């Protein structure tokens, strides 16, 4: 962890925190977190990727972790998050990147990929597959007590979370999301009531990890985190009429005990290959016994999957760098030629004046 550096970038009027490891000249990988996570969720992957010769970058989204919150968190949108990703890469002079994302971070990632395909070397998502509006079916519905539906209601999650300290809220969500069943509350329950104080943390999630998350959510609070992903609906993922296609090489990593697969229609959508209608160059990997946090639960396994993918498509970043170098060389040649012509003209004029 000591090898990871931290910086703040002024992005779209906010100071955003970015964790960074690896040489600036190395092919870049940007990691996008979900909820209730921050950059720290990628700690195992960042070090592995850097050791393999890549540069790993993991921002805290606006309103998360150490990043500034927007002035009006309730107006934050997915578009803001996508624009921030673009601006972060521009600030770091990264023109082509691998994108690795989890949970709602995958929606940010896929929107970024569709809007800026020229910037993408490849994409890996964990816990979610690409699903544009055209892929949704009537059976993709869940009851009123589903945690997403509860947290979409302004004020409801705030009241639920407000009964506990921040550390307990993060603890409860990690326990809930680590299970294989969908978090659904009954009519007389709130989501936090689904976890008892006696329920243990997952074995792979330490008290130190919990303390790290809790300290940063103490700073940021949950206002932006409840707005995005739960209350901001606009996504640049196409429409039922305009069906987008992800052209970049893509890998989806799912824990085979991830509760997301219990969402009606989701498992069939992925396993049947229907998702390939929208992502033709797709490889899907199921990790045995893996939960929604499979990258933290089985970091070595997931790291190997990631490194294999990066090695396979590393040439896509090399081609981009060669093109950049050629463009820069052409620019320098044109500039030098222009300067040469300019000064050649001046010298000619001087000679003419001296002769006269």
Q: Is 292 a catalytic residue?
A: yes
Q: 307: closest CA among 98, 88, 24?
A: 98
The per-residue b/e assignment along 252-291, b for 16 or more CB within 10 angstroms, e otherwise, is bbbbebbbbbebebbeebbeeeebeebbeebebbbbeebb
Two tokens, residue 251: 């890998």
**Which SS3 state, helix, strand or coil, does residue 5 take?**
strand
How buried is 353 (Cβ within 10 angstroms: 0-12 exposed, 13-18 middle, 19+ buried)? exposed
The set of residues, in sequence order, having a beta carbon less than 8 Å from that of 267 and lying 6+ positions away, is 261
d(CA 112, CA 106): 10
Q: Which two tokens stand for residue 310?
A: 């990066």
- Distance linking the first and last C-alpha atoms of the chain: 74
According to DSSP, the residues that pair with 121 across neighbouring strands are none
Asked if residues 246 and 123 have their Cβ atoms less than 8 Å apart, the reply is yes
CB atoms closer than 10 angstroms to residue 143:
11
* From 17, 33, 292, 295, active-site residue: 292
Which residues, 6+ apart, have CB-to-CB distance to 122 below 8 Å?
Answer: 98, 99, 248, 249, 250, 251, 309, 310, 313, 316
The single residue of 103, 160, 209, 258 carrying the catalytic annotation is 103
Please state the separation of Cα 228 from the chain's center in Å: 13
**Token output for 240:** 């039922």
Active site includes 230?
yes
Which one of the listed residues 78, 230, 259, 269 is annotated catalytic?
230
Q: Is residue 60 flagged as an active site residue?
A: no
In this structure, are residues 29 and 98 in contact, taking their beta carbons and an 8 Å threshold?
yes
Half-sphere exposure of 254 (CA within 13 A, CB side): 20
Catalytic residues, which ones? 103, 230, 292
């Amino acid at each position: 962890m000591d090898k990871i550096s931290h910086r703040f970038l002024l992005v779209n009027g906010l100071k955003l925190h970015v964790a960074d490891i690896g040489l600036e000249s190395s092919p870049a990988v940007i990691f996008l977190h979900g909820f209730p996570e921050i950059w720290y969720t990628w700690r195992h992957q960042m070090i592995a990727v850097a050791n393999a010769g890549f540069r790993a970058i993991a921002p805290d989204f606006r309103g998360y972790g150490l990043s500034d919150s927007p002035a009006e968190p309730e107006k934050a949108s997915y578009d803001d998050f996508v624009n921030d990703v673009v601006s972060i890469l521009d600030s770091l002079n990264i023109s082509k990147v691998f994108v690795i994302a989890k949970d709602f971070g995958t929606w940010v990632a896929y929107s970024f990929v569709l809007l800026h395909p020229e910037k993408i070397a490849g994409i890996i998502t964990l816990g979610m597959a690409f699903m544009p509006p055209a892929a949704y079916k009537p059976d993709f519905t869940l009851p009123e007590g589903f945690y997403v539906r509860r947290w979409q209601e302004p004020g409801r999650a705030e009241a639920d979370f407000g009964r506990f300290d921040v550390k307990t809220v993060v603890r409860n969500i990690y326990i809930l999301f680590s299970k294989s069943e969908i978090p659904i509350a009954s009519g007389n329950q709130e989501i936090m009531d689904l976890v008892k104080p006696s329920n243990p943390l997952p074995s792979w999630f330490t008290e130190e990890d919990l303390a790290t998350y809790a300290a940063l959510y103490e700073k940021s609070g949950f206002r932006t985190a409840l707005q995005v992903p739960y209350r901001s609906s606009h996504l640049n993922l196409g429409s039922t009429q305009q069906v987008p296609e992800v052209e970049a090489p893509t890998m989806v990593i799912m824990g085979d005990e991830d509760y997301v697969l219990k969402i009606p229609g989701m498992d069939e959508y992925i396993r049947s290959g229907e998702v390939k209608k929208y992502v033709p160059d797709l490889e899907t990997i199921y990790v045995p016994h893996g939960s929604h946090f499979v990258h933290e639960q089985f970091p070595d396994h997931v790291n190997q999957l990631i490194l294999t993918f990066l090695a396979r498509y590393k040439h896509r970043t090399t081609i981009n760098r060669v093109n950049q170098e050629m463009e820069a060389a052409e620019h320098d040649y044109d500039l030098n030629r222009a300067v040469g012509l300019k000064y050649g003209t001046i010298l000619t004029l001087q000679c003419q004046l001296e002769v006269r």
